[in-house]
Structure formats: C-alpha cells, structure tokens
A and B are shown apart, each in its own frame.
Chain A
C-alpha cells in the first residue's frame, strides 16, 4: 500500500498515495527485518486461506447442494462471454471458479449420486460465509484469489489477501528464464539473488526452489502487508533458511550487497497512471494500486531497476524484468543500449505465451 513511498516521492511525484490498506489491516512491525522507522504496527497476521482452514463447520448435504445451485444460477446469470469486453464476467470461467471454491471449502465428495440429503457435510467455512463469498465474487467483482485466499502459481499454492498483488500467469515465466540460466551455468546456483517488490513472494519462492538449496534469495517489498504475506508463504515452503524478506523500497534494504548479486528479478508496477481508472473491476477496485501504477508512462520503476541493476549486479550477473508489453520492453532495451551503454550484454525481449514482448533480460558485463 505504501509500496514505493520514499522512492516515488523523490523520483516521481505523479502518484497519489491514497493508502487504503493500512487502515483496514494495521501493519505489524516485523522485528527480524531492519527497515525504516515509520512502519505502523500490523496486528492481524496473514489470513488463512480457505483450503488451509480446519473443517470445523457442518451442514446437511441438501443445504450445501442448495447453495451450489444458487451459486450456479448466479454464475450463469451474468452476461455471457459473447460480449468480448475485457471487463465482463464470463459464466464458463465462473462455473470453473465455483468448482474450485467447492474443492477448497468442502472436504467431502458431494455428488448427487449419494442419496439422503440429510447426510452431514464438513465445511471449512460456514454456509453463510460461502453465500457471502460468492456474492462478493460476482456482485462486488472481488478477485477469486482473494475470495479463496490463495493463488495457484506454477506448482505452488500461495496465500494472497487484499493489499498484495495477485501473481499473474505471465510472471511464472520469469522463473523459467531463471531456471534456464541456472541450468546453463552452476555459478548462478551458488550466488545471491534478489526479487524486488516481491508482493506475495511468488518469484522469490519460485527462484529459491530452482536454486535448490545452494544459493540465497533476498526479497524486498515496501508494503508491510506484502512482507508479512511473503514471509508466511516462504515458511509454508520451508525456505526460511534460504529466502530472506526485507521491508523497504527497491534496492534500499540491499546496501551491503552492491556489486554482489548474481541475479536480479522483478515484476514492478508498470501500468501507465492514466490507465488505472479504466482497469478491469477485479484489478482496479481490489488490488493495491501501488503495485500496479508505474507513473506517467508506466516506466518509473523499470528505469530505476535498470539503473540499480548496473550498480548491484556482479560481473556476469543476470536480470529479468516484467514490463507492460512490446512498447515498454523496447523502451527499456533502448535505454540500456544507449544510456547504459557497455554495461549490459545480450539485452533482449522475451515474449509471454500470448506473444506479447513481456520481459527484458540480459547480463551485466
């Protein structure tokens, strides 16, 4: 929520800092991390996603099926995908989400074949809550991942909640890019990597698993909510010994590692400020703007990362950044080949599976 605060305040003043998350989830000062002084106390620990809760609720099968029917009707009632607008719900996708919500919240197999609607079904959330959750999904356009409290990303299940960007499918490829580099040269496996603006910790954990216990990953985020959520996710994958989460803006918490990083990865905010009001409801109304808004043309943070990469990476070190797409990627490559001439080699654009030039990668000379 206050991601980027100090940094943006001197680099670009374009961003309005309407911080809504701090009020709803007060931040806890994480004692293990050195960080700036002004962090308010976060009292609520990260939320437990549905699938990790204990099935302490119960309801008769007939009532559960009634909820399911209601939810299906609600999902089918939305405008169908024929209106190909980006910002409309798609009932086919909603029905699939309903299946996953059911999987996450109900332990028993509920098939109609089993007769006797009075059979008791164990639930991880009360039936009232399930009604409420599905209403929020459809009426309020609350992202499905916040509804169930997790996002399946690569082969992992990451806890997410309001205040933390939901990791995107495209971003999975950053880990593939790292894997490729590491496979080619074992040197990368043993060094220190950094993931800046880690959010839920997705990239950091993905990279950590690729390194396989040899190297180290340091993940930073300026948002205390993100720091708490990422720390929780790192713990869930038992990588505390290998991945360290530091609270702070971009490179600030990494001062002692200048010129020592073998790898640098980031999915920084890159959406141009003017595009923010027109975002899809799930994104614009629910996800933290400070993880999305990249300034006037969306490149504020990316340019800062490029400059930082020249200082922080050791010779031969690798970087991979996600961008808004073809145009931004070209801007970054041009900047590196002109303003940062003779600092990087092999700078190139890598496409995502939709064919969009989504990533810029390269090596420090």
Chain B
C-alpha cells in the first residue's frame, strides 16, 4: 500500500528513479501517515492546501491517500509523527543542532537542519499544538450524528475543519517530504549511486529554498507587514557624540535597505552642529519593508571610545528608532481637512520672492488638532517637499489612529515622540570588547562592523520568530 502511495506521487522524476532503481520501499515511515480526523468530507479530495500557502509544485500534484487508509485509521486520535527508517524525526534534527552552512554547500545535514528550522517557525506561527487540539475537537463535533440538524452551524464547523486540516496536512507533508529525501540520500550512499545522490541533494536544496520562503511568509503575516515604511532616527541627549551615533544608525539602515534591494529616499534630515544628525527620516520602499523594519523600533545604545573626546574616554550614546508603515490605497486612511493644516516655509527669513535665490524649499506641515508635524527638505521643489511632508504626516496620523483603535502591536505603532528612552532594545559595544547584543532575544554577534554595515537580518529574523512564541504554549 505504501509503495503504491509513493508511486502515485506524480513528480515524474522521482517515479522514474524509483522504477529504474527498483528500490524496495516498505517501511519508510515508522507510523503510517494518516488523516486522524473524520474522513467523511476530506478523504477523496485531492490534496491541495489553500490557506497555509503550501502550493509549491512539490506537493501540488500529490493525491491524497485513498479512502481505505483513512477509514482504517480514522479512529486513531494521535497525530502520527513522520520519521525516517532509522527513526530520525524533524524534532530530532533540530535537537541535533547540525550547523547550517551556506546553501551552496552540498551537506545534507545542513539542508535538513535549515528546513527543520523553517518548519518549526511555520508551526509556531500556526500555533501548532493549539491547532491540533482544535482539529481534534472539530472532528469530534463533525462525527456527532445530529450535526446537520443545524446546517449553519454544521457548515461553519466543516469549513473551519477543512481549513485547519489543510494547513496541518501541508506542514505534515512537508515534514514527510524532508524525511523521504533523507532516506533516499542514505540509500543512494549505501548503493554508491552518485546520480541519485546528486538528484536528491538538489531536491533538498530546492526544498530548503521553498521552506525559507514559507518561513518568511509565516513571519511576515501581520496586517501591514507588506507595506513600505518610514524609518526615523533621533539622537539622544549628549550633543555631538549622540548625533554621530544617530548618523551611524541611519547609515546602517540605509545599507541594510540596499542589501535587501529596497529603495531609499531621504525625506528629512536635521544635521547636528558639529557632526552627525539630530534627527532624520528615510522612506524605504519595497515589499515587506515594514514587516522587517518594525523589528528595529526602540532605543539603540552605543558604547565606545569617543572620537570627539580628546581625553579618549569611554562614552555611552543613545539613538531612538521609530518605524511607520505607509498604508496602501486599499486601507482606510485618516481623512485630513485642509483647514486643520498650517503649512510653513522651513528656515524662512528675509524678503523672499524675487530677492532670494535659494535651492532650499523645505516645508513644515502642522496638523493643528493633534499637533503632529512633518518636515521635508530633500526634494528639489517646494511643491514636492510639501507633497512628501504630507505623505509623512498622513502616515503618522494613520499610525496614531491604528494605535488608538487597536492595543495590539502597540510596541510597533509608537512614534518617535512616544518612545521612552528606557525601551532599550540593543547594545553595540566597540570598547573594551566588541559585540552587538539584542536585549529582547539575546541574539548576539561579535563583529559590530558588519552590523553597522547593514548586516541586520539575523537580529531582525530572530526577533520576528521570537515574537511568534508569544501566544503559543509550545514554547
């Protein structure tokens, strides 16, 4: 039965391999995969998950196992755990802590560890344990004889059940796929079949790529994550020393955005007297810019020997970072009345008009009812500065409104003025030792230069995945 299941899989390359190599496939699973829930509506449906997004070509053609199998096991309430011939499971792969190398390294353990890690993130995002409990509850409900007496209720139950089992099966299939590849690889090695080995290795690599995508989708699935955003940096107290640090932080984000292929435009920049910046706003354009950047909200602390201190003493500086999503046209945005605005020429003075020739056409817009302001000085015309400042103002007001409407995500919807200087998220130490450490996740690297040059993804992703843990009892 299992071998027929394998052959049914329509990845023709695989089928061909199985046929040509005449492999005996018997006990690949220690437990047979089974749909632990009621078979009534799902058993004959072709397997294609919808909501969880597992539609990659790896399983889209995979036919769901026949009714027999499901019926036979439908009483079993335990979710089966897929494993290889020698009992390796996804959990054990993670427990082994195999080092994750570069994608191009042909090391199956590294690929397996990377994929397993992605699966774990996806499970956390789905709140896996709760999901399993819920599915079990729904199956019990669906098995009740008089369920359909109330068709509305029954429909609701059945839809939710369908959706959740879809997600569940997606993940489980993915797990099984990984373990099959591992089995295949071991067999190939045993039989010295280098062709099969390299085929399987590339299948693992492809799986790793797909799983990374799925992992990111899982991490960046909050409402405004897909938006572009503004990043604002404000220097803490301490004059030149802090202004210089604020500039370093802003440069770090510019480089980070460039690495991620986001486009960056400077909207507003208030230079410090001696060096650095007092405050600056950049616009970061690109898919999921906000989803990533929101992980940076908070106060960043620097410890170093000050280049501005002739006494070469150690200084601590602070810079606050705020991130504001730029909502798309589809979202409901705050309506701004023209009469609520006061528009001022920034740094005005003198007679103006024909008397003055200046390339400075900075504009400040004040929203009178809220006191919120926005400034832009980097465009080449006053009209464009005004439009750009209006866009910033709109996003600030949108953010204020979102914060008002939902207490959720409060941490990410603070604007600069509201960030308390106590909300420290990360420390950068250049002296006496060298280290960057995130205080929320304890993620840590020993090379501050690479971080300041924009290598931030490790920090961002570890923060995003740690935020998933909240709400799932599994961790």
Contacts and interface: CB of A to CB of B under 8 A. Distances in A.
A319 interface: no
Given A100-B380, A152-B380, A155-B384, A144 B359 contact: yes
Given A154-B381, A352-B345, A93 B357 contact: no
Contact of A153 (B344, B351, B383): B383
Contact of B351 (A97, A269, A282, A325): A325
B53 interface: no
Interface string B333-369: 0000000000111001111111111111101000000
Interface in B346-404: 348-361, 363, 378-384, 387
A156 B353 CA distance: 19
Nearest to A354: B348
B354 A356 contact: no
Contacts of B343: 353
Residue among A169, A292, A323 with the most chain B CB within 10 A? A169
Given A96-B378, A355-B344, A270 B353 contact: yes
Given A143-B357, A144-B359, A352-B345, A169 B382 contact: yes
Nearest to A146: B357
B271 interface: yes
A93 B361 CA distance: 10
A168 interface: yes
A354 B352 contact: yes
Contacts, number: 100
Given A168-B356, A169-B361, A282-B357, A353 B384 contact: no
Nearest to A281: B357
A128 interface: no
Contacts of B354: 165, 168, 267, 269-271, 283, 291-292, 324
Given A152-B380, A354-B348, A93 B360 contact: yes
A260 to B, nearest CB: 30
A358 interface: yes
Determine which residue in B344, B349, B357, B387 has the highest number of CB atoms from chain A within 10 A of its CB, and name it: B357
A283 B355 contact: yes
A98 to B, nearest CB: 11
B355 A280 contact: yes
A144 B363 CA distance: 20
B355 A353 contact: no
A208 to B, nearest CB: 16
Contacts of B271: 92
Interface in B135-149: none
B351 A93 contact: no
Contacts of A275: 355
Nearest to A85: B350
B383 A154 contact: yes
A155 B359 contact: no
B390 to A, nearest CB: 13
B374 to A, nearest CB: 14
Contacts of A165: 354
A287 interface: yes
Contacts of A156: 381
A154 B360 CA distance: 14
Contacts of A166: 357
A86 B353 CA distance: 13
Interface string A219-254: 000000000000000000000000000000000000
A84 B350 CA distance: 10
Interface in A60-84: 84
A161 interface: no
A86 B363 contact: no
A93 B359 contact: yes
Given A100-B380, A169-B381, A325-B351, A354 B344 contact: yes
Nearest to B377: A96
A304 B389 CA distance: 38
B345 A354 contact: yes
A279 B383 CA distance: 25
A170 B383 contact: no
- Among B348, B353, B356, max chain A CB count under 10 A is at B353
Interface in B438-458: none
Contacts of A100: 359, 380
A292 B357 CA distance: 12
Contact of A324 (B351, B360, B387): B351
Nearest to B343: A353
A322 interface: yes
A299 to B, nearest CB: 13
A152 B387 CA distance: 14
Contacts of B378: 96
A243 to B, nearest CB: 19
Contacts of A143: 357
B348 A353 contact: yes
Contacts of B382: 169-170, 172, 353
A346 B140 CA distance: 78
B381 A153 contact: yes
A145 B357 CA distance: 9
A168 B344 contact: no
A246 to B, nearest CB: 23
A170 B363 CA distance: 12
B356 A280 contact: yes
A100 B361 CA distance: 14
Contacts of B352: 168, 170, 325, 352, 354, 356, 358
A124 B116 CA distance: 53
Residue among B345, B349, B354, B358 facing the most chain A CB atoms (10 A cut-off):
B354
Contacts of A356: 351-353
Query: 9 closest Cβ contacts across the A-B interface?
Result: A152-B380, A354-B348, A169-B382, A353-B345, A154-B383, A282-B357, A152-B381, A169-B361, A354-B345
Given A168-B352, A358-B353, 16 more contacts: A90-B360, A92-B271, A93-B359, A96-B378, A152-B381, A152-B384, A155-B383, A169-B382, A170-B352, A267-B354, A292-B354, A325-B353, A352-B345, A353-B343, A354-B348, A355-B344
Interface of A: 84, 86, 90, 92-93, 96-97, 100, 143-145, 151-156, 165-166, 168-170, 172, 267, 269-271, 275, 279-280, 282-283, 287, 291-292, 322-325, 352-356, 358
8 contacts: A153-B381, A153-B383, A166-B357, A169-B345, A269-B354, A270-B353, A275-B355, A354-B349
